[in-house]
Amino acid sequence: MLYLSIFTILIHALFSLAIPPKEGSDSTPNKKYLVTELPGLYQNFKPNDIPLMFAGQLEIEAETNTHYFFWKFTDTNNIDKNSQVTNRTIFWLNGGPGCSSMDGALLETGPFRINDKKEVVNNGGSWHKMGHIVYVDQPGGTGFSFTDELISDLPQVSDYFLRFMERYFELFPEDRHHEIYFAGESYAGQYIPYIANGILERNEKLKDGEEGYDLKGLLIGNGWVSPNQQSLSYLPFFQKRGLIGTGNPKWGSLLATHEECQKIVNLVDSNFNDGQVHYYEVDSSKCEKILGDLLAYTIDLNADDNHKCVNMYDYRLRDSYPSCGMNWPNELKNVAPFLRQNDVMHDLNLIDLKHWNECSGKVGRHFTARNSVPAVHLLPGIAAKVPIILFNGDNDIICNSEGVMSYLDKLEWGGSKGFTNKENEIDWVYDFEKVGYILQERNISFINIFNSSHMVPYDLPEVSRALMDLITGNYEKREAENGKMKFITYPLDYKKAEPVPEQKPEESEPEEKPIEVSNPEESSATNSTEIPNSTPSSTSVPSTSKLTRLIQLGVIVIIFWGVYILYASYKSRPSSIIKKSTSSSSSNRKKNVQWADQLDNFDDDDAFPQPAPQGIIAKTISKLTGESKKGRYAPAGEYIDDIELGEGISNNHNDDEFIIGSDIEEEQEPEQPVAGDAVGEGKK
Ligand SMILES: *[C@@H]1O[C@H](CO)[C@@H](O)[C@H](O)[C@H]1NC(C)=O
Ligand SMILES: CC(=O)N[C@H]1CO[C@H](CO)[C@@H](O)[C@@H]1O
């Protein structure tokens, strides 16, 4: 107990010191966003391994009461030690539309996983070792973000995100000149190109007093970039992997649906470059039907309840029917209960204690993206300026590699069409194993990653982290025996010897973290821009463990100072204190006024008709289409229209039932975890 409090004080002292002083300003504007407590943080992490964290809901538009939630992680071991990593900010976005980036933070690339005691535990492959990483819930209404006015189109996503970035860099002015990367997954394959495009356009016509952003690269994982084209991959995918045969009684019907989709794609292709938004391209519901049908027609009636249906995020797995992947990944069931804890919401500095849902049906239904071309159209323009990595877990169905390759084959960028030499697959070797292959031409790389699903960083955290090495040039190029190239990356702890051995070294890895966390020497020369001197030098962590201990001793010597700063920092965080005391005194957890106000703006859900009775197949399709709001489907589906127009033929029965149910839940019992819904909500 005492031990823990001393640690707590130490950490507080360290963090207080770690906040860089703002020149000329009386206080540190970001201080009230500091995160210093989370369940399990001091029990499950060594002090040195606790990231420096900031989180909160930033107001980005007063008129619409739009606040974006962000959570920033910094590896304090990297501060001042490794300029390349220190001068890098990665923004991570999950998909949907309407799915929270807390999936990324707590199931994928973030430093934490959530155990079944609702505590944070370590993710050994966290990307915060590669740069400051910021998870943002967007658009408004998603996750812990809130707004009075939901948005519906992709250019708005970009506008609002640029506003968010302005506000964010006001809080962290020392980060403003960082090299900026965007990374994300699934429907973020639409968001990220639009945001990147917005940044590049802004850079070209800066207004007085504005500074450009140093956008360095995009990483899109299992992205939903060219919806209709990608849907054409489903039937061949199922067939190739033996998930369906031509003897299936529904084969004819599936072929017919597939051909309908092919016609749409042909139409899209025939005027791909005319710069217009065609209804048949932005409404992808006809093509999306293929996957719903396939999953419904391949149910294994003989399997036990939990294995009746193919998992659409990983074809090797099975799930209950009609979930077909919605119960996956297993750890998802811990995330919602974790984020719905009052204490956690206070720890994350929320001003609106919103009931967190993995995916918001309201946001998804509203976000029809009817007025903007799919993001595939933007890739050529972006690739002329910024490298794009499209990485793909090999075993995903929904945004599978074949679908991604099929739109790249047709795409013209950098003066040619597709990859001109598809035989030229580059092996990707990580930690002495081939983990995938790369096609790389004219600033677009396609990386197929073996043994991983729709959520690559969930399955292979360390491998996924090395994607940052690939995009920053921190890898070795070698010619293999067969004359092909291979790109070699290493785990963080691996110290490269001279020359690099081909075999994995016998010696056990050192216990302590090595000094050079990511061996950036090859690329640091090309990539280093100005290094802000404002990074907190007072906390620079010495390069050996002995020195670290010495400094810790030093900190103990100045413990009174630390205590003073701690005290001062609490005094300067009135909101935090108020929130804490409210939470401990109000046992019956009444929702606050602000929150009730917000609900009033969402009462449009009442307008949704009761779902029509459905057959088992329609239900499946509905569920899957509901899924579409999360992971990867453009939401511009007929099902969504059906709901809004009141023609509920085969609408999102289950999804709506669930989402509306959980919204109502939200109104009545904001803090009550709802049994089962953490599972039912589902996907990325
Ligand atoms: C690739 O991007 C760089 C900037 O990062 C740019 O200078 C170059 O022209 C691009 N290459 C192509 C083929 O577009
Ligand atoms: C452990 C495992 O499943 N390994 C597989 C990873 O992927 C490669 C390429 O598809 C397979 O050959 C391995 O068997």
Residue 579 above 70 pLDDT? no
CB within 8 A of 615, min separation 6: which ones? none
pLDDT, one tens digit per residue, over 535-548 is: 333 333 334 455 56
- Parallel/antiparallel/unpaired status of strands 132-137 and 318-319: unpaired
- Max Cα separation, the chain? 78
304 classed as catalytic:
no
In the three-class reduction of DSSP (H, G, I as helix; E, B as strand; rest coil), residue 15 is classed as: helix
Contacts of 591 (CB under 8 A, 6+ apart): 353, 667, 670
Q: Which residues line ligand 1 (CB under 6 A)?
A: 383-386, 414, 442-443
Cα–Cα dist 142/98, whole Å: 5
Ligand at minimal distance from the CA of 441 is: 1
The closest ligand to the CA of 217 turns out to be: 1
Please state the pTM of the whole predicted model.
0.74
User: 25 burial class (0-12, 13-18, 19+ CB within 10 angstroms)?
Assistant: exposed
What's the pLDDT band for 632 if we cut at 50, 70, 90? very low
- Rounded mean pLDDT, 118-144: 97
Lowest-confidence range among 46-50, 550-554, 572-576, 655-659?
655-659
CA of 378 from ligand 1 middle (Å) equals 15
- The alpha carbon of 474 and the centre of ligand 2 are apart by a number of angstroms equal to 25
Give ∠ CA 324-327-328 in degrees, rounded to 5: 95
Residue 396 annotated among the catalytic residues of the structure: yes
Q: Which amino acid residue places its CA nearest to atom 14 of ligand 2?
A: 451
Residues 195, 466, 223, 360: is their CA dihedral positive or negative?
Answer: negative
Q: Is the pLDDT of residue 500 over 60?
A: no
Nearest CA to ligand 1 atom 14: 384
CA dist., res. 82 & res. 77, Å (int): 9
**How far is the C-alpha of 110 from the C-alpha of 457, rounded, in Å?**
9
Q: What is the pLDDT of residue 77?
A: 83
Give the whole-angstrom CA distance, residue 510 versus residue 493.
8
Q: 208-247: per-residue pLDDT in tens?
A: 888 999 999 999 999 999 999 999 999 999 999 999 999 9
Query: Is 451 a pocket residue for ligand 2 (Cβ < 6 Å)?
Result: yes
The one catalytic residue in 186, 323, 628, 662 is 186
CB 562 within 8 A of CB 36: no
Which of 7-11, 73-77, 576-580, 661-665 ranks highest by mean pLDDT?
A: 73-77
Say if ligand 2 is within 6 A of residue 450 CB: yes
Check 293, 396, 459, 656 and give the catalytic one: 396
Atom of ligand 1 nearest to the CA of 415: 13
Question: Rounded to the nearest whole angstrom, what is the distance from the C-alpha of residue 449 to the centroid of ligand 2?
Answer: 10
* 450 CA from centroid of ligand 2 (Å): 6
Q: What is the DSSP string of 348-409?
A: TT-SS-----SB-HHHHHH---TTS--GGGGHHHHHTTS-EEEEEETT-STT-HHHHHHHHH
- pLDDT tens per residue, range 276-291: 999 999 998 999 999 9
Interatomic CA distance for residues 17 and 26, integer angstroms: 16
302 touches 82 (CB < 8 A): no
Cβ atoms of 86 and 74 within 8 Å: the answer is no
Q: How far is Cα 147 from Cα 61, in angstroms, rounded to an integer?
A: 9
User: Residue 526 pLDDT more than 70?
Assistant: no
**pLDDT value of position 83:** 66
454 included as an active-site residue: yes
